[in-house]
Structure 1
Amino acid sequence: LLKSSLSFVQFYSSSIQFIFQNFVTTNVSDNGILGDPFVDCGDNYIEVRFETRNTFSGLVFVEDHLTDPSCRSVHAENISDQGRNASIKLGFKSCDIERRRSNNPRGMFVTTSIIVAFHPEFLTKNDRVYVVQCFYMELKKVLEKEIQVRMNPPPLQTEQMQMPVCRYEVLDGSPTGPPIFYAVIGQMVYHKWTCDSDSENQFCMLVHSCFVDDGNGDRVQLIDQQGCAKDKYLLQNLEYVSDLMAGKEAHVYKYADRQSMFFDCQIALTIKEPEQQYCTIPSCPEPPRRKRAEAPLPTNINSTESTEETLVDDKWTIVPNKSNNILEEYELEKSFIIRREQIERVGWFDNNFDLYQDQLCMSSLGFGTIAVMNLVMISTSALFFYGTYKQEYSRTTG
């Protein structure tokens, strides 16, 4: 921080001392200094500039150092009317400039005396002497800046494990049978779920939430969310052959008045725990056995009557026995079992079966075979009747 000041001799901090001395001159000039001088305290120099009333043709020099060219201003000749400024620039190490340290305030004072002479050879009454002083303040301050340094985060190496590719197949009769897309009621099929993985002994599979529907929104649950079968007549509990394979045999059934059935299941894949040798398979009870009963559905679910499965409004319903549990419904569509009362309804047979009495459809081979057989029968009959007629005619004429 640089501090500059100009003051008269009576002020210690900064001063410009004006010393007026009477000198005998032969020519008195009417020139003079306007206002206060301008002092520039540089990092290694002091510069003083003056504004004069008229053109300045004199000298500015350090007191007692007139003969030193570095301590005086250069005399200017042929100065125009605009040259009204006088100045001098001094270095700290020249002209015996005083440098004095101070403890209060802490810093350094740089002091020198400057004479402004309006006459190039003599000192006149208009000349001035200035004490120029610059103060350079010293600051003793501890500057602190907190910088938090931490290690670079370790690079995160990620690798996406290839997930297994799963499929659901309905095979003919056994786990090794061919896939089937058409079947008849009662045919033995094998429901098979398989997941293929490039990594061995890494994943476990659970088949759950299996449904069958007719394509029109009628859905029946076969396997619940825990992977347990809901009806033993439709599908038993699954057998897990390996970590990524499960299946079970079942007989084909169908919706009445529907030619197609749609199966959909969900497969949950989990990562095998370290040191886990086998995957955990669901522990399921025996699927419920449902039977029809003539008794109506009890109105009080807290009834103490014996538990029985009742078919009401074409849905199987289990009534709890001596329990406060909420009534649980297993919705088994009536379409899987054709009941006697359905068959005895008027028009049921005509609505479910199409009979074509006036049309006969057969292949060309079958039609040709029947035609040849008819021709042979007609020929044989004709020969038989002809032989019989000839024998009778011979007997009569003989």
Structure 2
Amino acid sequence: MNFVLAVFAIIFLQTAYGEIDNAIVGDPSVECGDDFFEVKFDTRTTFHGIAFVQNHLDNPDCRSFARKDDSAKNTSLRLTFDQCAIEKRHSTSPRGLFLSTNVVVAFNPEFLTKNDRVFKVQCFYMEMERRIQKEIQISMPPPTMHSKQLNMPVCKYEVLDGSPTGPPVYFATVGQMVYHKWTCDTEHENTFCMLVHSCFVDDGNGQRVQLLNEKGCALDKYLLTNLEYPTDLMAGREAHVYKYADRDNMYFDCQISITVKEPGLDYCDVPSCPDPPRRRRSNNLPGPVENSTTFATEFDYEDSEIVSDYIISNDDIISLNWLQRNFDMRISELCMTAIGTTILVFLNAFLFIISLVSIMHVCCFQTSPKLENTQSTML
């Protein structure tokens, strides 16, 4: 609060008997302090009187004392706000507080004379309303990092007998139905998603055939079709057992990608794959085996339930001594469908009947002349 000092002095003339050759020079000075005000007077000659609050002469706190110093030509009176019945008055216009009292300056400490004066001393403390604004930039405390590492799922690959609930298969025969199953176990439900992709099968000697691409889509429907995902952390598909020629063991190599499930999703996204085609073998083979390879390429098993005993890769065919080791065995085998076999059986039966009828006809023709000659001789 800022204080503005306003001093008002009103001089009242009092008459008294006697004459004193002294008087007040100029106007008194008033100092308005925080809890007091002080009034000072200058006189023409040495002041031997007193100054006091009107009607409070008997109160030592409300008067000054006579001086013995002949050189002093002034006097003062200091009053606190809680003494001498100082008048306090609130003002609304202007807003503030008036403090006032009457001070008597007597040149004779015993009597009042005509030279004495009465001053009304008043201090005004103005009240001021001011809106003070201060901009303070307040920032939030930095976030505290609370991290918790989730344990990754533990995944496994199984080959089961016939179904997802079948027993594990460690030894199998060509054509046997098995179920390829990939599962991941975790302590946190509805948290992770899995994708099986980049699957290869090899014979252990460097011969590799890709079954699933990097998106998890099957590449050869006769080896392995597109996988099904019954749950977020399970994938599988049934397939017939196959093998490399002259190899007893097969090795499967697959990658499993684990991702965090998107919040709010009920199910994980599964790969959208087209129906896989049948893998075609390369025709870039030497001349002697060109026809055999063309036959194997064009022959389609889609309408037949027969499963080939072997799946022969192009690299195996052109490998060293493969033809010498396998040609004699394969040359006597003829692969035919059930319809072709039936037609062949009927054709053989038809030829057999025709041959039998022809033989009987020839035999009957040779017997008839002999009978005619015999009858002629008898006659």
Considering fraction of residues, name the structure with more helix: 2
Give me the TM-score of the superposition, normalised by structure 2: 0.46
TM-score, scaled relative to structure 1: 0.44
| Structure with more contact order per residue of length (Cα contacts < 8 Å, sep ≥ 6) | 2
